[in-house]
């Protein structure tokens, strides 16, 4: 039984960012609401579009790459840049599809360098992020000077999370207005996949660390939401349809993992003038070394296609 001590929510005005995985008991209702919203969105005459509220709901259920990086560091794992996507790979990504996925991946990699205070590497990834964002015509949403300062100071974790979330919300709204909301989904999926890749690589080398294994197992619920998002666009975009085939293979590797949740009332406190909500629920994840190995291999295969 693991208490979710790493799990918290930052409430800034009406923006709620959950930076860790929700338990199944909460996700059942959230998923029903999500499916209903998808059905409503699909009736719009404007074409495929997901409302900002739906995207926000999915963000709430997805663990922040920064939070996962904290867990890796606190497990005693050493910094290893070789498990990241090389920051000089940007010239390989010519389509909007590959740019969006790799923008998400580079966002996760930036978080990883931030946690380990690898400032120069962080600046290199900021340059990569700027390049990908410019290529998607969303570079105006990235204040590189501000984010760069935050990214090179691990004490600014909460601030970096907030700025990143605000940027994503603005980007998602803009892309919807431009009838390109599918790129938001790819950005989100790329960031999540990279976090999975990093966590699996580390966990496979540290099989005695059950907390890392449980963090991987918890992603079963998250992946269901990502599949729903992708399915909404798979008929309209061949690249997403192909990507979804790979993601469904990854989803199948979670089939034998069982998750049970004990709900405990959330608590609140004020930290630096910001209301923080702590999710005190506990999850029991039944996952084996073999599960981790299979998930690691499938994740690596999908990721290799994206970054090559």
Q: What is the pLDDT of residue 167?
A: 66
Report how far residue 245's alpha carbon sits from residue 241's, in angstroms, rounded to the nearest whole number: 7
Q: Which two tokens stand for residue 228?
A: 């729903």
Q: What is the pLDDT of residue 152?
A: 58
Instruction: Report CA torsion sign: 246, 251, 254, 255.
Output: negative
Note whether 184 and 226 are within 8 A (CB): no
Half-sphere exposure of 188 (CA within 13 A, CB side): 29
Q: Residue 26, Cα to own-chain centre: how many angstroms? A: 19
Q: What is the pLDDT of residue 206?
A: 85
pLDDT averaged per 10 residues, the chain (length 308)? 32 21 38 46 44 63 62 81 96 95 90 83 88 89 66 58 63 79 88 92 88 90 89 92 97 94 84 72 88 96 97
Neighbours of 249 (CB within 10 A): 12
pTM for this structure?
Answer: 0.75
DSSP secondary structure string for all residues of 152-212: T-GGGHHHHHHHHHHHHHHHHHHHHHTT-THHHHHHHHHHHHHHHHHHHHHHHH-TT-HHH
Neighbours of 278 (CB within 10 A): 15
Q: Helix 157-177 to helix 52-61 angle, to the nearest 10 degrees?
A: 150
Q: Residue 14, Cα to own-chain centre: how many angstroms? A: 21
Report how far residue 277's alpha carbon sits from residue 256's, in angstroms, rounded to the nearest whole number: 32
């Amino acid at each position: 039984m693991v208490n979710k001590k790493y799990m918290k929510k930052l409430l800034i005005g009406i923006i709620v960012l959950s930076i860790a995985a929700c338990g199944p008991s909460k996700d059942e209702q959230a998923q029903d609401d999500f499916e209903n919203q998808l059905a409503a969105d699909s009736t719009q005459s404007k074409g495929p579009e997901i409302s900002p509220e739906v995207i926000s709901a999915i963000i709430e259920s997805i663990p922040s790459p920064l939070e996962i990086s904290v867990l890796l560091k606190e497990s005693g794992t050493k910094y290893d840049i070789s498990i990241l996507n090389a920051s000089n790979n940007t010239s390989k990504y010519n389509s909007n599809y590959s740019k969006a996925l790799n923008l998400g991946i580079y966002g996760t990699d930036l978080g990883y360098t931030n946690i380990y205070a690898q400032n120069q590497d962080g600046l290199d990834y900021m340059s990569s992020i700027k390049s990908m964002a410019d290529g998607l015509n969303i570079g105006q949403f990235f204040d590189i000077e501000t984010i760069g300062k935050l990214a090179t100071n691990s004490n600014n974790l909460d601030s970096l999370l907030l700025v990143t979330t605000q940027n994503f919300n603005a980007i998602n709204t803009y892309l919807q207005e431009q009838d390109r909301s599918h790129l938001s989904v790819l950005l989100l999926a790329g960031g999540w996949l990279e976090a999975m890749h990093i966590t699996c690589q580390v966990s496979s080398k540290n099989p005695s660390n059950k907390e890392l294994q449980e963090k991987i197992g918890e992603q079963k619920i998250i992946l269901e939401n990502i599949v729903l998002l992708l399915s909404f666009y798979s008929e309209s975009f061949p690249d997403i349809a192909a990507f979804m085939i790979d993601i469904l293979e990854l989803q199948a590797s979670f089939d034998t993992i069982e998750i049970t949740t004990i709900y405990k009332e959330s608590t609140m406190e004020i930290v630096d003038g910001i209301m923080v909500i702590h999710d005190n629920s506990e999850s029991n994840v039944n996952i084996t070394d073999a599960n981790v190995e299979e998930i690691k291999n499938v994740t690596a295969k999908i990721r290799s296609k994206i970054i090559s």
